[in-house]
Structure 1
Amino acid sequence: MDLGLTEIQQMLKSSAQEFLARECPTTLVREMEEDERGYPDELWRQMSGLGWAGVPFPEQYGGTGGDFLDLAVLLEEIGRSLAPSPYFSSVVLGGLTVLDAGSDAQKDDLLSRVCDGSGILTLAITEASATFEAWGVETTATTDGNGFALNGTKLFVPDAHVADVIIVAARTNQSGPPEAGITLFLVPARMEGLEVTPIRTIGSERQFEVSLNNVRLPSSAVLGEVNGGWAIADRAIQRAIAGQCITMLGGATAVLDMTVEYVKQRTQFGRPVGSFQAVQHHCAQMATDVEGCRGVSYQAAWMLAEGLPAQREISIAKAWISQAYRRVCATAHQCHGAIGFTKEHDLQLYTRRAKVQELGYGDVNYHKELAMASIAGE
């Protein structure tokens, strides 16, 4: 595995940094935390206009034909800037799932809209158990004439309030192992019987409860095959975890950068606090954690891009980064002192999101167990 970026990836990274530094200052991030929609339409139009939404999709749908590593470059910069947008939901959760398992008609209909930003997708899997395992899917889909009727409640569905289509995992067969009876459905977000309710979180990101009460869908709404949806969902979850790890890497990098800059400028006892050995050790430990995050996250992304089995590497990355990002934020607060704990300072923006992302898509213990089970099974 070569961790170096290609010339095209480096150009993409540099242009993304310049664009987000100019168009997405932290003042905008703060403003969008209080906004009901959660992101400015103009920023999303600009991101889509730059072709970002089409990076991992084939050219026939309006994409650029990139792979998951190209996508990772953008996700890192989005994580670094905390850019408020439905990018992760629409591209990583929704679009790549349709690309993975959709019919030709479904791909033609949805992916072109994802690529130009006119259509927003998201994915609804978790329920009251908050698990990302098949047994946690309790929403039912019963046959109703030539279609299906969906009933149940999904939790922690990102950007459901602006999504045009929500990919919903539902149980179509109650017998047999949990993995055998799950089907994915493409549910238009304005369907009768579908209700979206916001869930407040410490990170101020847009998460929602999606209630389905006799939502009737035609058979053409099935994504993949009936009772064959869990394999698709599992791949989608793996991509989501790997993508979130890259996003967390971007956040950790931003925290390191702001801390190093602060200790260079903050003076105490007549000298910059960065000249004190204890503070230098703190910064060195933060840099070590960030580089560790970079190695494990890009290894997982590379394996996905190559089409290799990556469950172990993804779980290792998530378990490591969840703890490392938290350590980086905690150490940054020590270096900043009291000002770092104030709402007026940018550091708290990253600390709150680090806590949400630490728990999202499985916590540290969950992924340690998955990694160890994978190693033991070899």
Structure 2
Amino acid sequence: MPRVLTEQRRDLVDAVADFCRRECGSPQQRNALAQPHDEGIYAKLADAGWLGISLPEEFGGAGQGMTELCLFLEETAYGRVPMGGFATSIIAAAAYEKFATDEQKKLVLEGVIRGRVEAISMSEPDVGALTCRADEVEGGWRINGQKTWCSNAHIADHILLIARTSKESSKHEGLTQFMVPTSVEGLRISGIDTMGGREVNDLYFTDCFVPDDSVVGTVGHAWHQLMAGLNLERMILGASMLGAARRAFDDTLDHVRQREQFGRPIGSFQALKHRIADMATELECAHLLVYSVAAHIDAAPDELVTCEASMVKLKCTELAKHVSLEGMQMLGGYGYTTEYGMESMLRSTVVSTVYGGTSEIQRDIIGKTYGL
């Protein structure tokens, strides 16, 4: 799909695409990089300076905007780079950038740029009525309770934990963010087996002590601090799934052009040709949506574009799932084999409609912005 890019942005896309071809371009390379996050690949991304693409220059980042971040995410997802720790790291880093002390910022942001992984933990059965508690004690806080679905906690340096510090009339009040080292005594990280591999974890806190300087931001205001990061989270997920959808589409297109039945390529039959046309049109729509919203955020970075960011997340994740499923069907039996890779594309895209706020939640958010 054609893009209108500045020379600098085109150079970024070309450089990332070249990296992906060299490091993950063949099925053999991708099979050897079977885990969602590969430390060797991630270290190379850090050496190239890309992990700090959107982080401030004062900490060693590139200081670029949402558009550049989306281009990087789209291209690495298209190239199927196993860098699962990046999304949570950049989301956590943005929260530290906005609310943390200078010491916390230096520790976390410089670490992310060097290739260290960060995690963020909010999820419980009822996100708004969190029961994981942090009680104030002499010199700090003592944490008790359980968290679940914490992505990348097992490979992270710290967990940005949201815990209840007081009981208020509103379930969204009385929550506080803490920087919790994963090595702290009293924390047990237990992996949850999923069809995507080792990505998410249960966290068990038992009399886990953290000092006063572990508080990130203002005590009791974590919910409002979290809301400030929703643009970023949804754009990260949307741009990544746009890249995944493009990859599933291109792999499908290559197959239907080459695979012959009845003396002609199967893509020349109208039943498949029209499906390809529909997917190409939807991909172009998604591309325009992602980068128009990214441009808006770059122009007004402090504006909370709730509706538009939810549209990006909804459109791109649902499209990636749809294109991968269509690709599996058009590849026939080949789509079910690990050799061709479409089955792993389907596994990774299906879950994208669940994490970061389900598609139903995104639709509800969008509807509310129209007064419904």
TM-score (norm 2): 0.93
Is residue 368 of structure 2 the alignment partner of residue 373 of structure 1?
A: yes
- Looking at structure 1, the residues matched to 198 and 343 of structure 2 have their Cα atoms a distance apart, in angstroms, of 14
Residue equivalent to 1:189: 182
2:316 matches 1:321: yes
Q: Does 1:339 align with 2:316?
A: no
The offset of 1:322, in angstroms, is 3.0
More displaced 10-residue stretch of structure 1: 8-17 or 101-110: 101-110
Q: Does 1:110 align with 2:111?
A: no
Q: 1:159 to 1:27 in 2, by over 3 A?
A: farther
Distance (whole Å) between structure 2 residues aligned to residue 340 and residue 350 of structure 1 = 10
Number of aligned residues: 367
Aligned partners of 1:93 and 1:27: how far apart in 2?
A: 31
By how many angstroms is 1:116 displaced? 1.7
**Corresponding residue of 2:97:** 99
Q: How far has the Cα of 1:237 moved from its partner?
A: 3.8
> Aligned to 1:236, which of 229, 238, 242?
229
Comparing 21-30 with 323-332, greater Cα deviation is found at 21-30
Task: Tell me by how many angstroms 1:351 deviates.
Answer: 0.5
One-letter code aligned to 1:20: C
Alignment partner of 1:155 out of 123, 148, 151: 148
Cα deviation for residue 42 of structure 1 reads 2.0
In 2 relative to 1, CA 29–213 (structure 1 residues): closer, same or farther, beyond 3 Å?
farther
In the other structure, the counterpart of 2:18 is: 18
Aligned partners of 2:231 and 2:130: how far apart in 1? 17
- Are the aligned partners of 2:324 and 2:345 in contact in 1 as well (CA < 8 Å)? yes
Q: Provide closer, same or farther for how the CA distance between residues 159 and 73 of structure 1 changes in structure 2, counting only shifts above 3 A.
A: same
Which of 39, 42, 47 is the aligned partner of 1:41?
A: 39
Counterpart of 1:156 in 2: which secondary structure? strand
> Are 1:217 and 2:210 matched, yes or no?
yes
Q: 1:110 to 1:333 in 2, by over 3 A?
A: closer
How many Å separate the matches in 2 of 1:44 and 1:333?
29
Amino acid across the alignment from 1:44: Y
Confirm or deny that 1:169 pairs with 2:170.
Answer: no
Which residues of 2 match residues 209-358 of structure 1 at below 5 A? Answer: 209-305=202-298, 306-307=300-301, 308-358=303-353
Which amino acid in 1 is paired with 2:157? D
Q: Is the 8 A contact 1:53 1:87 kept in 2?
A: no
Say what the alpha-carbon RMSD is for the aligned residues.
1.8
Contact 2:95–2:225 (CA<8 Å) still a contact in 1?
yes
* Structure 1 runs not aligned, ≥5 long: none
Write the mapping of 1:37-76 to structure 2, written as runs, cut at 5 A.
38-76=36-74
TM-aligned CA deviation for residue 288 of structure 1: 1.4
* Deviates most, 62-71 or 182-191: 62-71
Q: Which structure 2 residue ranges, 5 or more long, are not aligned?
A: none
| SS of 1:170 mapped into structure 2 | strand
| Worse-superposed segment, 89-98 or 135-144 | 89-98
Residue 31 to residue 153, structure 1, CA distance change in 2 (3 Å): farther
Identity of aligned residues (%): 26
1:8 aligned onto 2:3: no
Q: CA deviation at 1:72?
A: 0.9
Report how far residue 170 of structure 1 moved. Answer: 0.5
Conservation of the 8 A alpha-carbon contact between 2:87 and 2:236: no
CA distance in 1: counterparts of 2:78 and 2:47, whole angstroms: 20
Q: Do the aligned partners of residues 237 and 154 (structure 1) sit closer, same or farther apart at CA in structure 2, a change above 3 Å counting? A: farther
- Whole-Å Cα distance in 1 between the matches of residues 347 and 142 of structure 2? 38
Q: CA offset at residue 222 of structure 1?
A: 0.5
Kept after mapping to 1: 8 A contact 2:136/2:142: yes
Instruction: State the 1:205 CA deviation.
Output: 5.1
What is the alpha-carbon distance in structure 2 between the residues aligned to residue 270 and residue 89 of structure 1? 46
Deviates more, 1:184-193 or 1:76-85: 76-85
- Cα distance in 1 for partners of 2:228, 2:84 equals 20
Shift of 1:120: 2.0
Paired residues of 2:290 and 2:312 also in contact (CA < 8 A)? yes
The whole-number CA distance in structure 1 between the counterparts of 2:122 and 2:68 is 26
Alignment partner for residue 120 of structure 1, among 110, 117, 121? 117
* CA shift in 2, pair 1:368/1:302, >3 Å: same
